[in-house]
Amino acid sequence: MSTVPIPTTALTLDEINPASFDFWLRDDVEGALAKLRHERPVAWHQHPDSGKGFWSITRFDDVAAATRDWETFSSAYGIQAMTDPEDMQYMGAIRSMISTDPPKHTKLRGVVNRGFTPKMIARAEDAVRERARRIVDAIAPKGEAEFVTEVADALPVAIICDMMGVPEGDRAKLLDLTNRLLAGGDRDFGGTRDSLLQAAGELREYGLWLGKKRLEHPENDLTTTLVHAEVDGEAMPPEDLGPFFLLLIAAGNETTRTAISQGMWAFTQFPHEKRKWQADLEGLSASAVEEIIRWASPVMHMRRTVTRDTTFAGAQMQRNQKIAMWYISANRDEKYFPDPYRFDIARTPNEQGAFGTGGAHFCLGSHLARREVTAMFVELFRRLPDIEATAEPERLRSNFIRGIKRLPVAFRPA
């Protein structure tokens, strides 16, 4: 099997600017990231889409090092390169778990850990599979579908809302709010910083409303767990539930939806890998899902804020500057992934960094995401084995989520 060549770009180093939303709609993104990784692995980028600008970190080792050094690279001022500290304070997200550092982060993470352990996720296996079956039931007779809205959207939003105890009638609203929250510069979902902030505020308010409801009438769900939890021996104030709710609903929905959508497109481009998995659905599931997640890299970056003047990988960084750790580039680093531009569902080892590269902020929902991606593709490939995309995906205009907005598919009706 021949090695897939490293992609190229006609852009010069100074022309490569991942701060721009439009950069991510280019066909030579992989080549541009490879050029940065090899020639300018720590690069400063300034663009109106990025607020006050930021440093890009593109090599796996550097991303891992920055992730682990939370004292120098803090999460406490926001996680998106496009937002600045004053934006996040307005949102109130500074109080949420993802926007804190140890030791506070460790304590808050312990509150929700009980709902996301491998044992707890294994208990949810039947519910995930049943939801996947119902989704395929709905599209199977039609012979065609809009894959993102009818398949990829449907599973993760149902599962996280089930876990949080969100009423069925409110779920479409929450899906719309998470789309707006993570839309970057895509005008289909607002596409402005004000739209992002407004969506975040509405999600927080909904979480506060649901939390108060669960204080009065507890249920067997994660929202009830949160509002009755204690941190340092004291009950969590209901007002703290809003940021928690925002984080869990958004992270539990958007990233898995993107992995499933990007996975469908990958299997259309590489049908031999689809046939390989279909020939051994159970045996190859674990490695196939890791490769889908590496290939998709749904969250393209996480942002940190420099807490003190420092030198990092040869770059002189100043206090209060932002850095963006590009997982989408780290997951193509030739040092860690031999032949990284080959989509190979049997790839092993595959220590992909899409869930984080270690440190305190490793993705809490990684086990759940793996279960959902597995269940969805196993169900699709068993019942609709010839399913494939019939047109190029319509991509989200974002420098944060590697989303697909629309992807038409066709298959033999079943």
Give the model's confidence band at 237: pLDDT under 50 very low, under 70 low, under 90 confident, else very high.
Answer: low
Q: Residue 258 in contact with residue 178, Cβ under 8 Å? A: no
Contacts of 291 (CB under 8 A, 6+ apart): 343, 344, 345, 347, 350, 352
How many angstroms separate the first and last alpha carbons of the chain? 35
Chain segment 125-146, per-residue pLDDT in tens = 899 999 999 999 999 999 999 9
pLDDT given at position 356: 86
Mean pLDDT of all residues in 56-85: 92
State the pLDDT at residue 12.
98
Flag the least confident range among 59-68, 84-93, 155-164, 296-305: 84-93
pLDDT of residue 150: 97
- Residue identified by tokens 């079943």 is 414
Residue 346 DSSP one-character state:
T
363 pLDDT band, cuts 50/70/90, is: confident
pLDDT band at residue 94 using 50, 70 and 90 as cut-offs: very low
Instruction: Residue 349: count other Cβ atoms within 10 Å of its Cβ.
Output: 10
Question: How many Cα atoms sit within 13 Å of 279 on the Cβ side?
Answer: 8
| Distance (Å, whole) CA 374 – CA 263 | 11
Task: Name the burial class of residue 26, with classes exposed (0-12), middle (13-18) and buried (19+) by CB atoms within 10 angstroms of its CB.
Answer: middle
Query: Which pLDDT score, from 0 to 100, does residue 123 have?
Result: 76
Predicted pLDDT at 13: 97
* Across 278-292, average pLDDT: 97
Report residue 406 as tokens: 């629309």
State the pLDDT confidence band at 93, using cuts at 50, 70 and 90.
Answer: very low
Q: What percent of the chain has pLDDT over 90?
A: 67
Q: Is residue 165 left, alpha or beta, with left meaning phi > 0 and alpha meaning psi from -120 to 50?
A: left
Backbone angles phi, psi at 160, to 5 degrees: -70, -35
On the question of pLDDT at 351 being above 80, the answer is yes
> Where do the H-state alpha helices sit in 270-345?
271-278, 285-296, 327-330
Overall fold of domain 20-409: Cytochrome p450 (1.10.630)
Note the pLDDT of residue 238: 61
Q: Who contacts 307 (Cβ-Cβ below 8 Å, separation ≥6)?
A: 71, 72, 73, 74, 319
Mean residue pLDDT across the chain: 91
Q: What is the pLDDT at residue 89?
A: 55
Sign of the C-alpha dihedral computed for residues 109, 115, 120 and 126 taken in this order = negative
> What integer pLDDT is reported at residue 45 of this predicted model?
96
Contact between residue 353 and residue 331 where contact means Cβ atoms under 8 Å apart:
yes
pLDDT band for 95, please (50, 70, 90 cuts). low
Residue 382 host element (H or E) = helix 366-383
Which residue in this structure is represented by tokens 């021949």? Answer: 2
Query: What's the token pair of residue 302?
Result: 């996480």
Reduced to 3 states (helix: H, G, I; strand: E, B; else coil), residue 390 is coil
DSSP labels, 195-240? HHHHHHHHHHHHHHHHHHHHHHS--SSHHHHHHT-EETTEEPPGGG
Contacts of 197 (CB under 8 A, 6+ apart): 87, 90, 91
Confidence of residue 1 (pLDDT cuts 50, 70, 90): low
Residue 56 pLDDT > 90, yes or no? yes
Among the listed ranges 189-193, 215-219, 294-298, which one has the minimum average pLDDT value? 189-193
Q: What is the pLDDT of residue 119?
A: 76
**Which of 153, 245, 236 lies closest to 199, judged by CA?**
245
Query: Does the N-terminal peptide bond of residue 156 adopt cis geometry, omega within 30 degrees of 0?
Result: no
pLDDT for 239 equals 62
H-helix or E-strand containing 303?
A: strand 301-306
Read off the pLDDT band of 355 (50, 70, 90). Answer: confident
Mean pLDDT within 88-117: 71
Question: Beta partners for 145?
Answer: 409
Give the pLDDT of residue 111: 77
The mean per-residue pLDDT over the stretch 33-47 comes to: 97
The least confident of 30-34, 97-101, 332-336, 389-393 is 97-101
Residue 91 has pLDDT above 70, yes or no: no
373 and 345 in contact (C-beta within 8 Å)?
A: no
Q: Would the pLDDT of 213 be above 70? A: yes
Statement: residue 160 has pLDDT above 70: yes
Q: Residue 378: what pLDDT?
A: 98
Rounded (5°) CA angle 310-315-317? 40
